[in-house]
Amino acid sequence: MRMRPTLSWAPTEDLPPATTDLEPVADALRAGGVLVLSGAGISTESGIPDYRGEGGSLSRHTPMTYQDFTAGAQARRRYWARSHLGWRTFGRARPNAGHRAVAAFERHGLLSGVITQNVDGLHQAAGSEDAVELHGSLERVVCLSCGAVSLRRDLAQRLEEANAGFAPVAAAINPDGDADLTDDQVGDFHVVSCTLCGGILKPDVVFFGEAVPPQRVEHCRSLVREAASLLVLGSSLTVMSGLRFVRYAAQDGKPVLIVNRDLTRGDRHAVARIALPLGAALTTVAGRLGIGVGEEAAGPA
């Protein structure tokens, strides 16, 4: 059955109003033990669009589902053509002030951990060392037959060699690294197979319609249990993969703070939602704590 991503949600109750007061975030960080949960909104200032914010990609783009990807060769050809083109741009994205602030908080011992719903590797590129990639990473590729894991840059080179001259102009790049291409632009793009067994290659990310590995979910639950508070950055929390950790934290009596410009599905569980741009907001908080947020030259490999 074709699995469609959740596009939006409508609140069924009055939610507390948003604020622009950053002091609750600063207070939580001063106390330490903050667990960060980040979403696509933290990467928009790096040029990667989000899914559901203003102008979000789901308004014009339905991501590939696991069911479609595994069902047929034509769907995989379309995915890899679009993803290969998107990788050229996506792979050049650089961390922004929000990523750098999170890394700075981590270096100063204020965080108990980082969970990211993003697959772009920008937290790590900014210097975060222990970020849990809830939905995997586009920097890795896995074989669905033998389970071998390889680097995306190696696959990119193989795809370049197999598709010399492939350079269509994409209408847009999406948060999952997928470029908007027509079927005519995809053409007869050649998909390569696993070098070890000839099996089907898939990016090491959780597609829509695919479950997050249970051991990864439990590890994130343990991070919530060990944290003093939960700080959500740039996530609408529309889907359960992130919302469950907000609910779990609230049920455990942990304060939940959200920095997101739009309403979120977790607002009812939060002590405050701060409606400010993330990069500027986190830089301001860092300044109040006497922490510098420097420039970061490196990006994902």
Listed by start position, the domains of the chain span 20-48+95-135+212-295, 58-92+138-205
272-274 and 229-233 strand pairing:
unpaired
Please report the pLDDT score of residue 58 as a whole number.
46
Sign of CA dihedral 292, 270, 272, 46: positive
292 has binding-site annotation: no
- The pLDDT, as a whole number, for residue 16 is 82
What's the CATH code, domain 58-92+138-205?
Answer: 3.30.1600
**8 labelled as ligand-binding?**
no
Angle at 63 between CA 60 and CA 64, to 5 degrees: 140
pLDDT of residue 9: 61
**pLDDT, one tens digit for every residue, the chain (301 residues):** 344 455 556 666 778 889 999 999 999 999 999 999 999 999 999 988 765 455 444 444 567 889 999 999 999 999 999 898 888 777 788 999 999 999 999 999 999 999 999 999 999 999 999 899 999 999 999 999 999 999 999 999 999 999 998 888 776 667 667 787 888 888 889 999 999 999 999 999 999 889 999 999 999 999 999 999 999 999 999 989 899 999 999 999 999 999 999 999 999 999 999 999 999 999 999 999 999 997 643 333 3
Can you give the pLDDT at residue 60? 46
Any binding-site annotation on 290?
no
Residue 52 annotated as lining a ligand binding site: yes
**Which DSSP category does 179 fall into?**
B
- Check the annotation: does 124 bind a ligand: no
Tokens of 217: 């979910």
* Cα separation, 219 vs 41, whole angstroms: 23
Q: Please identify every residue annotated as catalytic.
A: 135
* 20-48+95-135+212-295 CATH fold: Rossmann fold (3.40.50)
222 within 8 A of 239, measured Cβ to Cβ: no
d(CA 278, CA 156): 32
Amino acid letter, residue 268: R
User: What pLDDT score was predicted for residue 296?
Assistant: 46
User: Which residues, 6 or more positions from 3, have their beta carbon under 8 angstroms from its beta carbon?
Assistant: 65, 66, 67, 208, 209
pLDDT value at position 299? 39
Q: DSSP class of residue 208?
A: B
Confirm or deny that 175 is annotated as ligand binding: no
Q: Which residue has the tokens 């070098």?
A: 195
Contact predicate 31/294, CB 8 Å: no
Rg of the chain over CA atoms, in angstroms?
19
| β strands within the chain, DSSP E | 34-38, 111-116, 131-133, 136-143, 149-151, 201-205, 229-233, 256-259, 272-274
pLDDT at position 6 is: 52
Cα distance between residue 28 and residue 16, in whole Å: 20
Residue 236 labelled as part of a binding site: yes
